A and B are shown apart, each in its own frame.
Chain A
Amino acid sequence: MRHDGAARLTVEQFASAFHESFRLYWLIAVGITRDAALADDIVQDAAVIAMRKLDEFQPGTSFNAWMGQTVRFVAYNAARRERHNRVASFDPSDLDRRPASHASEEAPPLEDLRRGIVAADPRNFDDQVMHALGSISDTARACLLLRTLAGLEYAEISQLLGIPAGTAMSHVHRSRMSLRRQLAPHLPGWAGAVGGDA
């Protein structure tokens, strides 16, 4: 949305505009971090920062472009922090208190627990998708989610992410192709099921 006129953006106007496009900011955050719960924190932090810097918003310019930039800034910082923290997510002393049943063969390796990494269930397609998403860039992921889950036009994605519309389109197409290629081995039954009569 655009706020025309020279008047400063009020907090009420900010809240209204934020409310209107909240889902898009959330998708940017989750696109960058791949963490739905963390995305909430990011969008909230971005709103706090933006509210404190309302003077910096130039009336007549795109609110979404301004807010999208703030969300991206916070999300990249959060992603960096998460990458750093993930290595030491657990207190090793807690491991000694694990109940006896945890010592079963199904329990994840101790080293994985220490590093906060759990092997994904290979039977779960969503896990495979999440893993494959890790192979595409943060921006490409955000483009893909904004296009797939919010149905945005490329011009709108371009504005939110500060990239040319053609680049956004290219990101979406390449990401889709990459995911299909990566996930094809995990869906061996599909081709046969659909094209079985050919």
Chain B
Amino acid sequence: MSRDDGRMLNEGFDAYVDGALGAQQHAEFERRVQGDPALQAEQVRQRAIDAALGRLFPVPGAERAEALIRAAGQAAGQAAAVGRHAELVREDHATGSPMRRRGVHRLRILAYAACALFLAGGGWWLASILREPSVLSTGSVAAEFRPVDPLDAVRRIEREKHEPDLVCEDDQQFAALVWMRTNQGLLLAQPLPVGVEVVGWNMRQTVLSWKTLILMARVDGQWVYVIIDARANDRSLTVPSGSGQRLFRDEVGALVAYELTPFDGPRLIGLLYDPKRDDSWYRAGIRW
């Protein structure tokens, strides 16, 4: 293959993955991909990268937009006017009134498409990657990450009105999520004590590492958070006295768990345990 051929092939491939080819050209290129292992590999790489981008940067939902605009309105001294907008948005969402503009509709369709693409691509990629875990065991990088203070993380979660990134359908899914991020499963002993209600996961607060998970729960009507990560990523988390919050630490196998709570003692981390199931059980729990 000449250098020009390579360049043209790259341009063709880019146009193909970009959806920029016409229907006929797309079909032709599709056939070409089917018969070319190198192009297939390139396509697989691109899908894996796109899926990773979706996981790394989960686009926030409309509720978060509303929370941010309200907070911004307060900061700018325009709370009342922003509040009127929020009422209109809620009314619009409830009634489907004409205020729902075409642009909003289009953005929503794009968001749904992105979600579907992310779920399809991510699921496929995850299933494949789990079949061959060794493919991720090569090389080494020292990516930088910005640690988030536990209280800042909670403030952000509050600002998002505790909107979970994931609500697990069952124990298997719960354990699989932790296993995927930390290589060890985790469950909460059942039945949960009276007054404890698990709300869902926040997966975007980099308290200890990129892979930090925060379990959000209501305990006797108060918000309690469990920050979970691999013990290898642990560092001394503290909260200042006078913050109204206390931090309790525990270890479960190779994991570390910090409970951030307004109560005098931990109510959740003592319930955590490693279910010690085989990989296939965890893989079957990956359903998002």
Residues on A lying within 8 angstroms of B by beta carbon are 1, 10-12, 15-16, 18-23, 26-27, 30, 35-38, 40, 43-45, 47-48, 51-52, 82, 86, 89-90, 94-95, 97-99, 101-102, 104, 106-108, 112-113, 116-131, 134, 144-145, 147-152, 172-173, 176-177, 179-180, 183-191, 193-196, 198
Minimum C-beta distance from A189 to chain B (A): 4
One of B141-149, B190-198, B263-271 contacting the partner: B141-149
- Contact among A18, A147, A194 with B37 in the assembled complex (CB-CB below 8 Å): A194
Within 8 A of A (CB), among B189-238: 204-206, 209-211, 230-236, 238
| Structural contact, B78 and A51, CB atoms closer than 8 A | yes
In addition to A15-B85, A20-B101, A176-B17, 10 A-B residue pairs with Cβ atoms within 8 Å of each other are A118-B145, A118-B233, A125-B48, A126-B55, A131-B143, A150-B59, A183-B48, A186-B136, A191-B44, A194-B44
| Structural contact, B41 and A191, CB atoms closer than 8 A | yes
Q: Is B242 an interface residue when CB atoms closer than 8 A count as contact?
A: no
Closest residue on chain A to residue B203 by CB atoms: A36
- Contact among B59, B76, B148, B205 with A26 in the assembled complex (CB-CB below 8 Å): B59
Closest residue on chain A to residue B206 by CB atoms: A37
- Contact among A35, A134, A176, A196 with B46 in the assembled complex (CB-CB below 8 Å): A176
- Contact among B18, B101, B143, B230 with A127 in the assembled complex (CB-CB below 8 Å): B143
Shortest 6 CB-CB distances between A and B: which pairs? Answer: A195-B37, A191-B41, A15-B85, A189-B135, A11-B81, A47-B72
CA distance A36 to B65 in the complex (A): 14
| Structural contact, B136 and A47, CB atoms closer than 8 A | no
| Structural contact, B53 and A23, CB atoms closer than 8 A | no
Which residues from A are CB-within-8-Å of B52? 125-126, 129
| Structural contact, B141 and A131, CB atoms closer than 8 A | yes
| Structural contact, B78 and A44, CB atoms closer than 8 A | no
Closest residue on chain B to residue A117 by CB atoms: B144
| Structural contact, B113 and A1, CB atoms closer than 8 A | no
Closest residue on chain B to residue A26 by CB atoms: B60
Report 11 cross-chain contacts, Cβ distance below 8 Å, ordered by A residue.
A30-B57, A47-B76, A98-B236, A118-B209, A125-B48, A128-B139, A176-B49, A177-B14, A180-B45, A194-B41, A195-B37
CA distance A113 to B141 in the complex (A): 16
Which residues from B are CB-within-8-Å of A145? 53, 57
| Structural contact, B139 and A122, CB atoms closer than 8 A | yes
Which residues from A are CB-within-8-Å of B132? 189, 193
| Structural contact, B139 and A15, CB atoms closer than 8 A | no
| Structural contact, A150 and B144, CB atoms closer than 8 A | no
CA distance A21 to B11 in the complex (A): 31
Q: Is B259 an interface residue when CB atoms closer than 8 A count as contact?
A: no
CA distance A155 to B140 in the complex (A): 38
CA distance A59 to B45 in the complex (A): 44
| Structural contact, A18 and B210, CB atoms closer than 8 A | no
CA distance A144 to B101 in the complex (A): 26
| Structural contact, A48 and B75, CB atoms closer than 8 A | yes
One of B104-112, B171-179, B278-286 contacting the partner: B104-112
CA distance A177 to B46 in the complex (A): 9
| Structural contact, A190 and B81, CB atoms closer than 8 A | no
